[in-house]
Amino acid sequence: MTFSFLALSIYGVLFASVLALPVQHGLEKRADISPIMGGQNFPDPGFIRTAKGWYAFSTNAIVNGKRVYMQKAFTADWKNWQFTPGDDALPTLPSWVDAGNARVVSEHFSNV
């Protein structure tokens, strides 16, 4: 019994010593990135691929003080985006949307 207790005590001291050692992380600061679409608020994007490129649709947001239900953007190469702030892909709400609490989610647009 004494031997087992002594062995556990030694292992405990060794384990605690290892935890106390300084840790060297191989982490580096990532490169700065420029915001896509000029840093516009474009939450929860959904995408549709076409022969010309990709269309992105975003969940509702307030743009320049105006509620936009479905923002849209286009890219042919994922680097250069065509985006017009305030341009609404869904300017008229469908009948199934509660106009008093309109929350349109862009991910569902790709299923249409």
Is residue 68 included in any domain, yes or no?
yes
Using a cut of 0.85, tell me whether the model's pTM lies above it.
no
Instruction: For residue 69, give Cα distances in angstroms to 9, 10, 53, 58, 66.
Output: 65, 65, 23, 8, 10
- Distance, in Å, from the CA atom of 103 to the CA atom of 9, rounded to the nearest integer, reads 60
pLDDT of the residue at 67: 85
Is residue 94 included in any domain, yes or no?
yes
Q: Please write the tens of the pLDDT for every residue from 42-64.
A: 888 888 899 999 999 888 888 88
Q: Please write the tens of the pLDDT for every residue from 61-92.
A: 888 888 888 889 999 998 888 988 888 888 88
Number of domain units in the chain: 1
Most confident range, picked from 12-21, 34-43, 89-98, 100-109: 89-98
Is residue 63 included in any domain, yes or no?
yes
Checking if the pLDDT of 16 tops 60, the result is no
In this structure, are strands 66-68 and 71-75 parallel, antiparallel, or unpaired?
unpaired
pLDDT of the residue at 35: 60
Is residue 91 included in any domain, yes or no?
yes
DSSP structural state of residue 86: E
Q: What is the mean pLDDT of the chain?
A: 75
